[in-house]
Amino acid sequence: MVPGGDNDGAASTVITVRTRTQVPPRLVLASASPARRKLLQAAGIEPEVLVSGVDESDIQAASAEELCLELAHRKAQAVAERVLAAIVAGHLPPGDTLVLGCDSVLEFQGEVYGKPGDASEAIKRWQRMRGQWGVLHTGHCLIKGDVRAAAVASTVVHFADVTDDEIAAYVGTGEPLNVAGGFTIDGIGGAFVERIEGNAGTVIGLSLPLFRELLADLGHSITELWGQRPRLVP
């Protein structure tokens, strides 16, 4: 009961409604990958998408992990600079902006595989990979202002012992030419992957558990991004 109030013996309940006073951060995905965007959308997050345009050909690294992390950082940094310019110019309202860059590579028997250069290369790769296993590394870099959080997620991929005809047919679809390592698990190539050890999102191109951790490192919760609509960057 409320002290000092009129009542008929019935208990009174006080309900406090909390309202969000802060504007939630905007998320910009520095990637042209439809698969990464779909992963975020399936998790209740609608990112803005800006392609970085970073030249990947001149990047050298000592390991597969360092390579994908450096690529992820360069992509995120390039887009973060564009977003900052848009805010300064008044095209975007001020507020927290998070820019996520990702890059994936396949480490197989000591070699690092990005996207195959052409169909012939894709066929040769698959002839080597069939019946074997490799490690798919995805670098993640999240930038907020002048601070960043970055890490690599890795998943072991076991490939099926596919036939030459199956390889030729798969490469003929064009799918392997557009993805790191020359395969996917969320498309046609899923039939050619027997199993994985680790997070499936890492293989697709974005680890949601790792993304949540990087958000926390920058002082944000993934729940802040749920249900947002994109505010397009010019």
Whether the CB-CB separation of 185 and 109 falls below 8 Å is answered with no
Known catalytic membership, residue 103 = yes
Q: Where are the alpha helices (DSSP H) in the chain?
A: 34-42, 64-88, 119-129, 164-172, 200-204, 208-217
The token pair that represents 9 in the structure block: 């013996």
Contact (CB, 8 A) for 122 and 116: yes
Give me the count of residues in the chain.
234
- What the block records as the tokens of 27 is 């998320």
Judging by DSSP bridges, how do beta strands 48-49 and 26-29 pair with one another? Answer: parallel
Residue tagged active-site, from 58, 103, 161, 217: 103
Give which of 111, 90, 230, 127 is closest to 180, Cα–Cα: 111
Cα(173)–Cα(182) distance, rounded to whole angstroms? Answer: 12
Give the single-character DSSP code of 91: S
Counting Cα atoms < 13 Å in the Cβ hemisphere of 191 gives 7
3-class DSSP assignment, residue 218: coil
Place of tokens 């050890």: 197
Tell me which residues are annotated as active site: 103
